[in-house]
Amino acid sequence: MSTGTKKVAELTVRGVLLGIAITVVFTAANVYIGLKVALTFATSIPAAVISMAVLSAFKNSTILENNIVQTVASAAGTLSAIIFVLPGLVIIGWWTGFPFWTSFGICAAGGVLGVLFTIPLRRAMVTNSDLPYPEGVAAAEVLQVGNQAREGANAESREGLMAVIWGAVGATALSIITATRLAVGEADGAFRVGSGYTSYGMQFSMALIGAGYLVGLSVGAAMLLGVFIAFGAALPILTAGAGVHANIADFVESVRSNDVRFIGAGAIAIAAIWTLTKLAGPVVKGMVATMSAHRAAKNGGDTRDVDLSPFWIVILMVIALAFIGWLLQIFLAGTPLAAKTATLIWAALPFIFIGGFAVAAITGYMAGLIGASNSPLSGVGILAVIICATLFMAVAQPAADERKALVAFALFATAIVFAIGTISNNNLQDLKTGQLVGATPRAQQWALIIGVLAGALVIPPVLNLLNRASGFAGAPHLATAVGTPLGAPQANLISALAQGVIEQNIPWGMIGIGAAIGIGLVVLDELMGKLKWLRLPPLAVGMGIYLPMAVTLPVVVGAVIGHFYDVWANRTKSPEHPKRLAVLVASGMIVGESLFGVLNAGLIVAAQGGYFPAKDAGAPLALVPANFAPATVIGWGAFGVLIALLYGWKVRRVKKAS
């Protein structure tokens, strides 16, 4: 970009290298947290803060250079969502680990296509749209304030960095206490309700508290409604008259896993279809506006508002699609489906291309509406895998001995769709940030491609590390892992759906009930919108039905605490200051817990390999036995105290500033 005759640095080597470094760290963190709780976090804002703190050491650093850093690093908040599908290949027993180049290829080729899809989506949903993009606007504000303070004491940047650090320290402290077994990481149980049963759970997770603040009260309330539907209604009804069970908790969990989660899947699918319906008009109008803007630029319009050239778009798209075709062929070689390779590839490529664009459009629209942290990608993926498996069943007509291979191929193709769609989620936030700070879209698009490649290099080794250390719930190879299996809830669900379609034993009854609930939720949400009441996003309700209460409840608690904090912030002289601090602390909480999870996984692998002594290789930091009596009380106490300390720090900073 140039201002007058002065050229402003934007896509620089040091900015790209810093962005890659942040991407590596945050991608590892996001892979862990996603496998644990089915949530990933947006990395743009903390990346922008870190960038300003680091690049402030250089006198010639610019706001556009800092914007490039957060653009590269945003790949960590997007591409890592591939873990909602890819572990499914291990869970069904097709893979025992993650072959590096194959896994890299899925992420890289799909991610590059996702970047290319953001070009028309940018004009449709950013340039010519009134979508609010809350996180993109917040990141732009952080960059602008930091740039204004750079020539002075730069106190704003330092305070922001301290906010991220304190959030990370608090979350890491709780994670360490839990890892020593002095405190439990979760309180749960099951009990009788009438003639049936239900359960409760609360995970002591600072990351989930932080996620709750970021998604806000509307989403928190919607998830709480989903909890009531699942645990207050569905479980007691489905377990009614079940009689006495020796282990109530295991019985209730089996019903939740085999029945209730498919009710959630049905509700999520309806929410996804509704989103597609609402998107049709804006996307068509946006595509028309895109062509008009391109012609205007050719005739001397705004030369800063330029995307990748048509030449590069075509070249990159052809390379990506050819590489995807090669990956599909390699995957099918040597399987019972080898004779049907051509048929399946010709079915898969259009599905990947069209389905990827549709998923990108849905997630991009929802990111613009309510923020990337509440991305519906995983819910849309449920619909995608059902369509994919149904399509492959129709064209392949598999024999009995071909069905497992077809399940694996459906997951493989759906993983590429995820890699495409996920890029649109947080990246459109970045492009909104760029629009507000005067960045060049073309420079950001190259930065996105670099971020995709960096993230794709990190994901396979981190997945292999976690697979060796803990494994994934439901996988047949858990005997090789010693830690507590990671739940990988979305990968388990999507794998089960693919198997259900192809093995023709999918629980359509439960999905149908969920679909009916989803229709009711759509009507309710629209009605509440017309009445200008608090909205209850149907997707968030569906996730509340699907996820375990232990995961959902801390998100709700974080949303409620955050609401009251924001009410207090609105009464201060400068409400945006305390709110910005809260966003940064929440991001730090997520980063701290997630990074410790990856570090702990490394310790488990090292202990398992005999590199250092540990009484329990599955919990190498344990100081007491697993049945340590005061652990529950300590867990509740530490959880509450750390939340109070972090919110207290923010309040004191705000009062001091005023």
Q: If you write DSSP's letter for every residue of 365-392 in order, what string do you get? A: HHHHHH-GGG--HHHHHHHHHHHHHHHH
Residue 516 located in a structural domain: yes
611 vs 632: CA distance, rounded Å:
31
Mean pLDDT across the stretch 198-209?
90
Residue 486's beta-bridge partner residues? Answer: 472
Whether 523 shows a pLDDT value over 90: the answer reads: yes
Residues in the chain: 658
- Please answer whether residues 202 and 553 qualify as being in contact, where contact means their C-beta atoms are separated by less than 8 angstroms: yes
**pLDDT(329) > 90:** yes
Q: Is residue 340 included in any domain, yes or no? A: yes
Average pLDDT over residues 85-102: 88
Distance CA 639, CA 642 (A): 6
Cα–Cα distance for residue pair 546/481, rounded to 1 Å: 26
Residue 154: predicted pLDDT: 59
Distance CA 129, CA 136 (A): 14
- pLDDT in the model for residue 5: 39
User: Would residue 451 count as lying in a domain?
Assistant: yes
Tell me: pLDDT of 534 over 80.
yes
Q: Is 129 left (phi over 0), alpha (psi -120 to 50) or beta?
A: beta
- The CA-atom distances, in angstroms, between 268 and each of 208, 280, 307, 452, 459 are 21, 19, 34, 28, 27
Give, in degrees to the nearest 5, the angle at Cα 207 between 482 and 624. Answer: 45
Higher pLDDT, 402 or 4: 402
pLDDT tens string 581-623: 888 888 788 778 877 877 777 777 677 666 677 677 667 888 8
445, part of any domain = yes
198: in domain: no
pLDDT given at position 617? 66
How far is it, in rounded angstroms, from Cα 391 to Cα 403?
13
Instruction: Summarize pLDDT for 284-316 with one digit per residue, the tens.
Output: 665 665 566 556 656 555 556 677 777 888 899
Per the CB < 8 A criterion, the answer to whether 359 and 381 are in contact is yes
233 vs 193: CA distance, rounded Å: 10
Tell me what pLDDT residue 552 has. Answer: 87
Per DSSP, 127 falls in state: I
Q: Which of 120-124, 334-338, 353-357 has the lowest mean pLDDT?
A: 120-124
CA 214 to chain centre: 13
In a domain, 126, yes or no: yes
Tally of CB atoms within 10 A around 562: 25
Report the distance separating Cα 512 and Cα 631, nearest Å: 42
| Residue range 41-60, pLDDT digits in tens | 667 777 777 787 788 777 77
pLDDT band at residue 334 using 50, 70 and 90 as cut-offs: confident
Q: Within a 13 Å sphere around the CA of 293, how many CA atoms are in the beta-carbon half? A: 21
Predicted confidence at residue 249, as pLDDT, reads 86
Is residue 267 included in any domain, yes or no? yes
Confidence band (pLDDT; 50, 70, 90) for 130? Answer: low
Average pLDDT, integer, range 314-321 = 91
Q: Which of 2-11, 194-203, 218-227, 378-387 has the lowest mean pLDDT?
A: 2-11
Higher pLDDT, 243 or 629: 629
CA distance 412 to 89: 8
Mean pLDDT of 119-131: 73
More confident residue, 155 or 310: 310
* E strand or H helix that includes residue 211: helix 206-227
Mean pLDDT in the chain?
81
The pLDDT assigned to 129 comes to: 67
Look up the domain containing 480 and give its range.
Answer: 10-157+216-553
Separation of first and last alpha carbons in the chain: 37
Distance CA 237, CA 233 (A): 6
Say if residue 230's pLDDT is above 70.
Answer: yes
Q: Quick one: pLDDT at residue 553?
A: 92
Q: Is residue 461 part of a domain?
A: yes
**Dihedral sign of CA atoms 549, 554, 556, 560 in order:** positive
Of the pLDDT bands very low, low, confident and very high (cuts 50, 70, 90), residue 320 is: very high
Question: Residue 197 — φ and ψ, nearest 5°?
Answer: -135, 160
Helix (H, G, I), strand (E, B) or coil at 434: helix
Structural domain count, the chain: 1
CB neighbours of residue 644 within 10 Å: 11
Is residue 516 very low, low, confident or very high in pLDDT (cuts 50, 70, 90)?
very high
* CB 145, CB 156: distance < 8 Å: yes
Rounded Cα–Cα distance for residues 584 and 163 (Å):
6
**Pair of tokens at residue 496:** 């089960």
**How does residue 655 score in pLDDT terms, banded at 50, 70 and 90?**
confident
Which stretch of DSSP H or E encloses residue 639? helix 631-657
Of 80, 64, 66, nearest in space to 24 by CA: 80
Is the pLDDT at 484 greater than 70? The verdict is no
Residue 658 CB coordination number (10 Å): 10
Greater confidence (554 vs 496) lies with: 554
- To the nearest 10°, report the CA torsion of 11, 16, 17, 19: 140
- What are φ and ψ of residue 188, in 5° steps? -150, 170
| Amino acid at site 154 | N
pLDDT of residue 3: 43
To the nearest whole percent, how much of the chain has pLDDT over 90? Answer: 21
Helix (H) or strand (E) holding 202: strand 196-203
CA distances from 316 to 8, 322, 351, 417 (A): 28, 10, 19, 17
Give the mean model confidence (pLDDT) for residues 66-91.
Answer: 82
